[in-house]
Structure 1
Amino acid sequence: MAKNHTRYIFSMGELKRKDNSIAFVNEKGNFYIPIEDTRELYCLNEVSFNTKFLDFISRARITLHLFNYHGNYSGTFYPKDTYISGDLTIKQSYAFVENRLVIAKSIVLAISKNIHEVLYHYYRHDTKELKPYLDWLKNDVVKFLEKELTIEQTMFIEGQIWHRFYDSFKHFLPEDFVMNKRVKRPPDNPINALVSFGNTLLYTKTISAIHQTHLNQSISFLHSPREGRFSLSLDLSEAFKPIIVFKTIFDLVGRKQLQVAKHFDKDLNFALLNEAGKKIFINAFETRINETFMHPKLKRKVSYKQCLKLDGYKLIKHILEEREFVPFLLKEKQ
């Protein structure tokens, strides 16, 4: 049986092994999680466990993602690494030295194209104020990236792309969800809270996807490898943010399934999703990332989550075979 399910734990409690199952124990009782079809566990509150439990889920090849009470990502425990390739790590390091800028530019261009595709949907539905944003993304960004740039200049262009994207929200989102400026830690308003939570979920999904390849998580191309995180996951998640994170946000807000007064913690100035809000967001996020479509090259249906791993394989082919690296593009569906 394929291990496809992601399980989310929202309450405080304890995780432990019980016979050949996972038991979550709190004041409400014991809740059992089947291991046969579980790939990932997300702990979105303070949860305790011991090394016996970690050994159990490692042998079951289950990845554990940990968040603190305020929803900030703490870290990931994943099974003993059976995908390490010394040869690929050496060549990945060489690609960083020799070809970093080419790969970084490809990622930034993919971000721009996917944001254009997302905004074009609203432009077609009579939000004509988006035309200057669309023109800038389609014309100016391409011209900028064709120039000889440093990695710092490339990252500056990426920052400008996101800045203009955030600015466009005022034309199609309710006033409660308009972003004045991007604030990460801690978020200072509902839209920042949604973006931070969604980006973190996508980041952890990308960690899991890269773990299934032979790539080294610490050697990245757009983001600095010295950032002390799984920086390659930051790289490969970027092109998917407009498609998965922001489309999820826009759909939930547009349909009023998420509301400031009902789904955000008022004691924290509405800058943190409450448990009900997290459940709504996660359900929509999982639906989106597991949505399938016909892949034009593979000639079979794949999900966006599978495409995260496919982008890892594209990068491997670039490193080993010098094929052009083109991250996932929504318009081409590949």
Structure 2
Amino acid sequence: MARAFRQTGGAGNRPRHKFLFIPLHMLASVVTFGPILILPALIGASAERGITLVLLDRVGRFQARIEGPVTGNVLLRRAQYRVSDNATEVVRGIVLGKIANQRAVIRRALRDYGHEMAPPAREALKRATDRMAMILRRVQLSDDGVDLLRGSEGEAATLYFGVFDHLIRSPDAELRWTGRSRRPPLDPMNALLSFLYTLLTSDCRSASEAVGLDPAVGFLHRDRPGRPSLALDLMEELRAPLADRLALSLVNRRQLRAGDFRRMDGGAVLLTDDARRTVLTAWQERKKEERQHPFLREKAPFGLVPYLQALLLARHLRGDLDAYPPWFWS
């Protein structure tokens, strides 16, 4: 049983502590923010049960990860290392999934409220989807190598984020989109996206380890010390439908407003504590939503998709599948 407490206001300005008790078997992972005390007994119990503890600072930057013994299959990891040196077809699948899902987000916006958009915005979105369709055909039919596939992925990302502001319907000028900024995020929308991407990366890393893969050895993302390249690969297909759409829903439904963000002295923009709780609650609810898996032909909650994709990738690396089947959102 895990126990946590939250400090709240009390009579005479004295803090009160509200204790929460959570059965360990209900936890897949624990993500903490800021200076949180974790007792050694909880660390040991979590490691024994395969529950990962992820420590983030107040900004949401990764600090540390605590986990139990690695149980990866050495033969699977050797196959992963061999394929990583010539991973064109795996990269092709990842890029197809990412671009198709980015395009689906734009098409969904056009379908749902395109009639409310100004004609220039509507035309810009349509041009982006047409161009992304051409890139998809090129990626699917060409024999491009990994570097050219990375170039196609970057081209599609530029188109997608180039029209991202047209997807935002919030009345707050501070929530408009001007471009991607990271480390640190310099505006509210980037702060929100970075926070969600951090949560998604943690889930994808846990998924890759759960099936026995090495999260540091990727295919689309180049190897770099300290970077979970495979986790970043797995999240590419899920960024748009899971993280980006959730961010847009939160601001378009006015669950988050400009006052839910604060600007630090160095220019970084952060979510307030209350806003972060709002995002975490919405994140957990979104992960419960079910979609039919396009390859498995069965319904699965969003939260299970990283694990399913890691499992399919492992089956491909072992030779059980001819190709890696990307996850397409519809």
TM-score range, shorter chain: 0.7 to 0.9
Please report how far the alpha carbon of residue 218 of structure 1 lies from its aligned counterpart in structure 2 after TM superposition. 1.8
SS of the counterpart of 1:250? helix
Tell me the TM-score normalised to structure 1 length: 0.85
> Using a 3 Å threshold, how does the CA distance of structure 1 residues 81 and 304 change in structure 2: closer, same or farther?
same
Q: In the alignment, is residue 159 of structure 1 matched against residue 139 of structure 2?
A: no
Distance in 2 (CA, whole Å) between partners of 1:164 and 1:282 is: 29
> Match for residue 67 of structure 1?
56
1:194-225, CA deviations, whole angstroms, 9 ceiling, x for partnerless residues?
Answer: 11111111001111222220212122100012
Q: Which moved more, 1:181-190 or 1:139-148?
A: 139-148
What's the CA shift for 1:243? 0.7
Aligned partner of 1:86 among 74, 87, 94 = 74
Q: Select the residue among 168, 171, 175 that pairs with 1:177.
A: 175
Is 1:138 aligned with 2:133? yes
How far has the Cα of 1:155 moved from its partner?
2.0
What whole-Å deviation, never above 9, does each CA across 1:236-292 have from its counterpart, x for those lacking one?
01100001001101111111111012x101445671110111111111121112211
Q: How does 1:256-271 map to 2 (within 5 A)?
A: 256-261=254-259, 263-267=260-264, 271=269
Q: What is the deviation of 1:94?
A: 1.4
RMSD: 2.2
CA–CA distance in 2 between the matches of 1:140 and 1:297? 22
1:201–1:49 Cα change, 3 Å: same
Cα offsets for 1:294-313 (capped at 9, x unmatched): 44665643111211111111
Q: Distance in 1 between matches of 2:4 and 2:48?
A: 16
**Match of 1:69, as an amino acid?**
R
CA spacing shift, 1:78–1:186, aligned 2, 3 Å: same
- Structure-1 residue corresponding to 2:30: 41
How has the CA–CA distance of structure 1 residues 65 and 33 changed in structure 2, closer, same or farther, with 3 Å as cutoff? farther
Which range moves more in the overlay, 67-76 or 271-280?
A: 67-76
Task: Return 5+ residue gaps in structure 1 as ranges.
Answer: 1-19
Matching of residue 110 in structure 1 with residue 109 in structure 2: no
Contact 1:190 1:270 in 2 (8 A): no
CA distance in 1, matches of 2:54, 2:20: 18
Contact conserved, 2:174 with 2:188, CA < 8 A, in 1?
yes
Alpha-carbon distance, 1:55 to partner: 1.4
**Structure 2: 5+ residue stretches without partners:** 8-14
| CA offset digits 1:167-195 (Å, max 9, x no partner) | 11222314433322211101000111011
Q: How many residues align?
A: 309
- Deviation at residue 85 of structure 1 after TM alignment: 0.8
Instruction: Report if aligned partners of 2:89, 2:323 keep a CA contact under 8 Å in 1.
Output: no
Deviation (angstroms), 1:24: 4.4
Specify the SS of the correspondent of 1:33.
strand
User: In the aligned structure 2, how far is the partner of 1:216 from the partner of 1:38?
Assistant: 22
